[in-house]
Structure 1
Amino acid sequence: MVKKAFPSLAVSCCDSTGARQQRALLFELGRLNGTNLFDVNTYHNYQSDIKRPFDDLLQGQPTIETEWSDGGTNWTPTWDRSGNNFEGFRWAIYMNNAFRNNVSGWSHWWCTWAGGDAALVNVNGTSYQVASRLWAFSSYFRFARPGALRIEAESGVEEVYVTAWQNTNGTVAIPVVNAAHYAYTLNINLAGMNLTHGFAYLTDNEHNVTMSEEITITGGRFKATIEPRAMKTYFLDR
C-alpha cells in the first residue's frame, strides 16, 4: 500500500541482527515469493559477519549493512593498539570483507554520543574525541563517492586486502589494508585504465587519512608501499 501511494519510496527489508540471520529470513521470504516486495536488502552485524554475498537470495536488490557498534560503555579511540574488535584497523577489515561480498554501504550505529563505542565521536560537554573507526570510514567514503561502481581488484598477498571503486567522474579509489606487522611493496597494475596520477592517503596509529605521497602512473602501473597494520587509499585521476 505504501509503495502504491509513493512509487518512488524505497522499501528496505529487514535489518536482521546478523548476516546469517538475514540469509535465513530471505530464504523464507523466497519460499513465499516475497523477495520482490522490497527494494534494498538491509542487515546488522551484531550476531554474525557476512561470509558470502546475498545475491543468490535476492532479485537484484542492493545490500546495505545498516547498523553496528559495541553499544557498551567502553570507549575505543585507537587504530591498532590492543586488538580490540572496535579499533579502527579492525573496522577497515570488516568493511573490506563486506564490500567484497557485494555490500553497497556500511553504517555505524551513532555518529556522536556521550560515552562508549556506540558512536564514532565521543562528546563530553564542550570537548570531543574521535574514534579511529571514523578514519576507517573516511578512507573508503571520502574517495568512493555516491554513485561509484566497485570494480575488480585482487591482491596476490594473503595479508593485504584491497577493493577498488570508479567514481562517476572517472576517478578511481583503491583502499588497501595491510594486516601484516611489516611493510609490503606492491606492483599495482591498473589493467588498461586511462589514469596518469594520484595521491596516497595513510591511516595508522600516527596518521588519520593523511596525504602521504604523490603517485605517478607509467604504462598503467605504479609501485606502492603499504605500511604495517595500516590502511592506505590511492585516489587516482586521468
Structure 2
Amino acid sequence: MKKPKTILLLIITVLNTATLFAQNVSIGIDANNVYQTMDGFGTSLRVFNDPHIIGGTTSAPITAGLTISTAEEDGILNLLYNDLGLTRVRPATGEDGAIEDPNDNNDPNITDPSQFDFGWKKMDAHIDYVSRVIPRGVTTFFPSTIKIESWMTVANPEEYAEWAFMIIKRWKDQGYELSYYSIINEPGYTRGGIWPGTYIRDCIKLLGPKLDAAGINTKMVIPDDLNADEAFTRSQIILDDSVARSYVGALAYHLYGGSNANKTAMMQLGQQYNIPIWMTEYSRPDAFAWGNQIHDVIANYGVSAVDHMWGFFGQQETNGTQLIRLNFTGTNYTGYTINKQYYVTGQYSKFVKPGARRIESISSNNDVRVTAFRDGVNVSIVVLNNHGNSQTVDFSLNGLNNITTLKAVRTSLTENLNSLGDITVLNDSFSTILPANSITTFYNDQLLSVVENPTSNPGFTIIYPNPASEIVTVKLTSVFNGETKIQITDINGKLVLAKTVRLNNQISEIPIRVNNLSNGIYLINIQAEGKQYSKKLLIHH
C-alpha cells in the first residue's frame, strides 16, 4: 500500500502532466514578412470523352468514351471552377495519337501544316475545354506532353521546335495564346523516353526565337519532372544557358519520390533567377495527407502553384487521384461523387488566389500547421490540426490593421467546407478551438466582394495575361463599331484607370498598361454597343 505522501506526489505529477498537454497552441501571423507570390491551384486534364477516363486505352475511338451531355459537363465545371475556385488547367496530351507522324518533311524550317493533326483530344478538345473554363475564372493553362513523336530523337531538337511551335500556334490561332507551355512531361520517366537537360535546353533555344518572330509570348515550364531530384539536375543545365533561361516562365516538379534537399535546391534556384516554383502533379489517397502536402510544398519549399492529379476521372480511380469521381455504366454517365480531396483543396483554392503573397506564420506546435496569405486588404489563414483530439489555439496578428471580424470554413472527418460563425478579432488577437483531424481557413469578408459579370459577354474572348504586371490585353472576337469604354476599379469600387477606344467594324486587341497599379484584385469593366462585361483582374509585379 502506497503512503499518503507518495499518493499526493503522484497526483501532483499527473495534474502537472495534464496541464502540460492542455496548454494552448500559439500561432503568430506577421504580414510584414513576405514570401512567394501565389500562382493558384489547379489540376491536370483528360477531356470528358477520353476513353481512358472510364478505363479504356488512350488509343480507343471516341465511341468508346463517356456519353455525357454538355449540361452534365457544365455541372462538373461549375463545381471545379466556380465553386472550388481552381484557376489552372494542365492538359495532358501526347498519348492520343500522333500530331505529326510521319515527319512533314526533312526541313524543320519549312513546315507543311497539312501534315499536322490536332483533332479531338490530340489538342482541339483541350482548347475547347479551356474556352469553357476561362469565363469560370481560369487564368493559367499549359499543355504538358506525355510523349513526343516516335521519330524524334535527341539528335534533332530542330524538329521538336518545329512541332512545338505548331502546337502553340494552334492555340493562338484558336484565340487562346498560351502564357506557358511545358516542353515534356516527366523527362526522367521511361514511359515517354528519357530526355536530358541538354536536349530540353536546345529545344528551348530553337523554339523561343520562332515564337518571338511570330509575336507569341509563351514562356516555358521546365522540366515538369517526376520529382525534385530529376528536376534539379535538368533545371541547372537549362538555366545555366542565358538564352534558354530567358524563355523559362516556371520551374516545375512532381512528388513521386525525391529528396527534401532537392526541393530546397529547387526553391533556391527559383530565388536565384526570380522564377516561380510550381508543383504540377500529385495526389494522396488520404485527403488530409493531401492537405499536409499542400502545406509542405508552399510553406517549406516556396512553391507558388499546386496542381492535383485530376479534376475528374472515372470510378476505377479509387485512390484519390481525382477530386470528382465520374460514375458510369458501360459508356453512359450516371452522376458524380465528390471525394474528400475536393473539400481539402478548397480550403486553399477558394481563398488563396493568384497574386496573393504568403506571409509569415508560426505555430508553437508541430502538429498544428499554418500558412497565411495576404492580397491587398484580403487575408486568409489556413490551419491543419493533425492531432487526434481538439486543440485550443491563440492567434496573434501583426501588420494586419483594421481587421475586426473573420469568417471561417472547415473540413474535417464530418465536415465539408462548412461555414462557421463569425470570429471577433480584438486587439489583433483571437482564440478558437480546432477539432481533431481538421483543416480550417480563416478569411475576411472582402475576399469575396468582387463580383464578375461574365454572362453578358458581348464578344470578349479573353483578358490576358491574368495575372498581369505590365500590360493586360482585352481581346474582342466580335466586330464592333463606335466607342468601347474600359474602366478598372479596385475592390472598393474606386476607379483607378479609364480608357476609351473607337472601333470601326473591326476585331480588335486593346492593350492597357497596368504597371502603375498596386498588387491586388481589380475589376475590369468593358462597355460596347450598350452591353457590359466585367472580369476579375489580378495584378502582381
Q: Aligning the two structures, in what range does the TM-score lie when normalised by the shorter sequence?
A: 0.7 to 0.9
Aligned to 1:112: 312
Aligned residue number for residue 47 of structure 1: 257
- For 1:46, the aligned partner's letter is Y
Quick one: structure 1 residues 224 and 53, their matched pair in 2 at CA, closer, same or farther if it must change by over 3 Å? farther
How far off is 1:37 after superposition? 3.5
**Residue 80 of structure 1 aligns with which residue?**
none
Kindly name which structure, 1 or 2, has the bigger radius of gyration based on alpha carbons: 2
Task: Give yes or no for contact 2:407–2:445 (8 Å, CA) kept in 1.
Answer: no
Unaligned runs of 5+ in 1: 70-84
The equivalent position to 1:163 in structure 2, one of 371, 383, 401, is 371
In 2, the alpha carbon distance for the partners of 1:235 and 1:213 equals 12
> 1:61 pairs with 275, 278, 290, which one?
275
Picking from 334, 339, 364, the partner of 1:131 is 339
1:189 aligns with 2:396: yes
Q: Sort the Cα spacing of 1:28 and 1:156 in 2 relative to 1 into closer, same or farther, 3 A.
A: same
Q: Whole-Å Cα distance in 2 between the matches of residues 135 and 145 of structure 1?
A: 16
Residue aligning to 1:103: 303
Aligned residue number for residue 72 of structure 1: none
| d(CA) in 1 for partners of 2:428, 2:384 | 21
Please tell me whether residue 177 in structure 1 is matched to residue 389 in structure 2: no
Confirm or deny: 8 A CA contact 2:405 2:423 kept in the other structure: yes
SS at match of 1:120: strand
Q: How much identity, in percent, do the aligned residues show?
A: 23
Report the RMSD for the aligned CA atoms in angstroms.
1.9
**Cα shift readout 1:32-91 (whole Å, capped 9, x = no counterpart):** 45544401111122233754262322301111111124xxxxxxxxxxxxxxx4121001
**Aligned partner (choices 437, 453, 459) of residue 229 of structure 1:** 437
Asked if 1:88 is matched to 2:295, the reply is: no
Deviation, structure 1 residue 3: 4.2
Is the contact between residue 53 and residue 103 of structure 1 (CA under 8 Å) also seen in structure 2?
A: no
Contact 1:172 1:237 in 2 (8 A): no
SS of alignment partner, residue 205 of structure 1: coil
Displacement of 1:8:
2.9
1:13 maps to 222
1:119-140 Cα distance to aligned partner (Å, 9 max, x none)? 2111112221111111111000
- The equivalent position to 1:215 in structure 2, one of 414, 420, 423, is 423
Letter in 2 for 1:137: T
Q: Find the residue that maps to 1:190 and give its secondary structure.
A: strand
Query: In structure 1, how many angstroms separate the alpha carbons of the residues matched to 2:255 and 2:387?
Result: 25
Do 2:267 and 2:303's aligned partners in 1 also have CA atoms closer than 8 Å?
Answer: no
Distance of aligned partners of 1:234 and 1:53 in 2 relative to their CA distance in 1, 3 Å threshold: farther
Give TM-score, length-normalised by structure 1: 0.86
Q: Work out the CA distance in 1 between the residues paired with 2:287 and 2:293.
A: 10
- With the length of structure 2 as denominator, give the TM-score of the two structures: 0.39
Match for residue 324 of structure 2? Answer: 121
CA contact (8 A) 2:410 2:416 kept: yes
CA distance in 2, matches of 1:6, 1:153: 42
Aligned CA distance change for structure 1 residues 6 and 179 (closer, same or farther; 3 Å): farther
